[in-house]
Amino acid sequence: MKKLFVFIVVIMFPAIVFAENVKVNIPGEVWRISFDSPPLSQKQEARRGGDYAFEATSDRFNISLFVEQPQGKGDTHKDCYNFYWPMASRNPRIAKNTIVITSGDKYYRGQYDIIAEFKGQPIQQRNVNYYIAFGGKWIDVHISIIEPTKEDEKIFVTFDKALSYGC
């Protein structure tokens, strides 16, 4: 009976049950980015000069992170946000009434939903971008969940708390 209960919980909440701590070492740097997420697959990395990109998925959860030379003036999270958010917010599929921007010591955070259509049916995708200035680089961490449920909110909360960078 216990095995059946565990199986049912795993099937109903796969992304929550199997959260893992992920550490992404940034090539050419002595620091890394860490976060808690559902177990990741289809990991891909790309490098160009001093820039770095990482992507991965887990069922409906997606992550991409970009570490780049600053594209503008400034060395604060707000400077990074002020450069990237105006471009990201131009997406016509963003439901403008879902945009929530917050800031703190660790990052500027932009949350929004994209509403699209797939096979004639509307689809919702919850997105969060974290804008960070650290180590002479600008960092954009983007996570999303397709068709988010109330249970998926725990993934966003856990990610927010666990996201860190440094040695």
Q: Could you give phi then psi for residue 71, rounded to 5 degrees?
A: -95, 0
pLDDT at 13 over 60: no
Indicate if the pLDDT at residue 4 is higher than 80.
no
The full set of domains in the chain, from first to last, is 18-166 (3.40.1000.10)
Tell me if 8 sits within 8 A of 136, measured CB to CB. no
CB atoms within 10 A of CB 114: 17
Closest to 65 measured CA to CA, from 47, 83, 82: 47
122-157 residue pLDDT tens: 999 999 999 999 999 999 999 999 999 999 999 999
Phi/psi zone of residue 118: left (φ > 0), alpha (ψ -120 to 50 degrees), beta?
Answer: beta
Query: 3 falls in which pLDDT band (50, 70, 90)?
Result: very low
Backbone angles phi, psi at 161, to 5 degrees: -70, -35
Work out the average pLDDT over 157-162.
96
Verdict on whether the full-model pTM lies above 0.85: yes
Integer Cα distance of 104 and 60 in angstroms: 27
pLDDT digits (tens, 9 = 90+) for 52-86: 999 999 999 999 999 999 999 999 999 999 999 99
Residue 11 pLDDT grade (very low, low, confident, very high; cuts 50, 70, 90): very low
Euclidean distance between the first and final Cα of the chain, in Å?
45
Q: What pLDDT score was predicted for residue 18?
A: 56
As given in the structure block, the two tokens for residue 111 are: 């949350």
Phi and psi of 27, rounded to 5°?
-55, 135
Please give the residue that has the higher pLDDT: either 8 or 47.
47
Instruction: Extract the tokens encoding 50.
Output: 């001093």
Query: What is the rounded CA–CA span in Å between residue 139 and residue 60?
Result: 23
State the pLDDT at residue 12. Answer: 45
Are the C-beta atoms of residues 94 and 114 closer than 8 Å to each other?
yes
Residue 7 has a pLDDT of 38
Query: Any idea of the CA torsion for 93, 99, 103, 106, to the nearest 10 degrees?
Result: -40
Q: What is the pLDDT of residue 1?
A: 47
- Of all residues in the chain, the percent with pLDDT exceeding 70 is 89
Residues 70, 130, 125, 14, CA torsion sign:
positive
Give the other-Cβ count within 10 Å of 166's Cβ. Answer: 10
